[in-house]
């Protein structure tokens, strides 16, 4: 499955960001703590490279704490600024805001301009509401709820700007695209629940098998070679069938309703019903990034050779 989702308003947001970045003092880039690499928009690296930027790993209450700590160490090691928060906590969000402000030269003669940016459904509006102490921005589990720029005046001489979430037109990293779909960053109308459920179950088997057993009361077979193609294809399907059976996702005659079972599993996973789970580690992300770079280099060399013929 190739996932592409780039609504028209996102193109307008990209144009707006390029224009607005020059007038802000600092940028709070909101990432999903469960998948910091996949939820980071590479467009921001180009658009925001001359402005102090703080990466905020939001939804840390849903992520594996050990993996989140590893990500924070990774960002520190490569010289990037990062902090993990739970967006519904005003104490944590204000600590992040103070961190962002500490990276700039503040002037008491004017208000400080802070931009909140990131891909859909990472919790930008939730953080805005926590900072304001009231509901000023729409929130929800549907990506791209924010459609236009929103400016709010906060205490401590701060003006904060919320922007619509933007994805990039083509998601080159297949695994990253699947992780985004599992997390809810991509509209459900652009995905196949059964497809992403199989991907997510395979991830759970690899990293958190006990969570599956505890939540659904099912058994997981571990053959000698759990990396075999047969196992990777058949075991997730078997578990999805068991989830469908135990949760009553059945059609007439006791036939399993795969779509219903898939939706149930994905919604429970997103809501944290299976515990604090991270969808990627920094080691995996760096390996994928390296592989994509090698693939890009090979494609460039191929294009150069063919263009000379």
Name the binding residues: 58-61, 121-126, 165
Rounded to an integer, what distance in angstroms lies between the CA atom of residue 281 and that of residue 68?
A: 8
Interior/surface letters 34-60, b for 16+ CB within 10 angstroms, e for the rest? bbbbbbbbebbeebbeebbbbbbbbbb
Q: Phi then psi for 28, rounded to 5 degrees?
A: -105, 105
CA 163 to chain centre: 16
Which residues are documented as binding site for GTP?
Answer: 58-61, 121-126, 165
Rounded to an integer, what distance in angstroms lies between the CA atom of residue 45 and that of residue 50?
A: 9
The CA distances from residue 145 to 11, 139, 180, 187, in Å, are: 15, 7, 16, 11
Rounded to an integer, what distance in angstroms lies between the CA atom of residue 212 and that of residue 307?
A: 52
The CA distances from residue 302 to 98, 143, 171, 229, 293, in Å, are: 48, 37, 21, 30, 14
Query: What does the chain come to in residues?
Result: 309
């Amino acid at each position: 499955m190739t996932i592409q989702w780039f609504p028209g308003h996102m193109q307008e947001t990209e144009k707006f960001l390029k224009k607005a970045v020059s007038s802000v003092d600092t940028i709070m880039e909101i990432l999903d703590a469960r998948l910091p690499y996949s939820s980071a928009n590479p467009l921001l690296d180009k658009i925001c490279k001359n402005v102090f930027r703080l990466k905020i790993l939001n939804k840390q209450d849903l992520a594996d704490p050990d993996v989140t700590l590893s990500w924070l160490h990774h960002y520190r090691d490569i010289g990037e600024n990062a902090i993990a928060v739970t967006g519904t906590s005003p104490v944590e969000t204000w600590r992040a805001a103070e961190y962002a402000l500490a990276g700039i030269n503040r002037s008491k003669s004017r208000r400080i301009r802070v931009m909140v940016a990131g891909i859909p459904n990472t919790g930008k509006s939730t953080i805005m509401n926590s900072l304001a102490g009231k509901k000023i921005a729409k929130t929800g589990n549907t990506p791209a709820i924010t459609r236009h720029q929103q400016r709010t005046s906060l205490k401590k001489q701060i003006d904060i700007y919320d922007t619509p979430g933007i994805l990039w037109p083509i998601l080159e990293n297949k695994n990253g695209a699947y992780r985004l779909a599992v997390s809810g960053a991509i509209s459900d109308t652009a995905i196949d629940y059964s497809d992403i459920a199989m991907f997510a179950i395979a991830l759970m088997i690899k990293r958190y098998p006990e969570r599956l057993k505890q939540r659904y009361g099912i058994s997981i077979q571990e053959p000698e070679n759990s990396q075999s193609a047969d196992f990777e294809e058949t075991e997730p399907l078997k578990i999805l069938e068991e989830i469908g059976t135990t949760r009553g996702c059945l059609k007439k005659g006791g036939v399993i309703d795969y779509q219903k079972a898939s939706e149930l599993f994905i919604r429970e996973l997103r809501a944290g019903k299976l515990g604090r789970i991270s969808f990627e580690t920094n080691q995996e992300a760096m390996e994928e990034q390296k592989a994509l770079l090698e693939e890009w280099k090979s494609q460039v060399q191929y294009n150069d050779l063919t263009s000379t013929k």
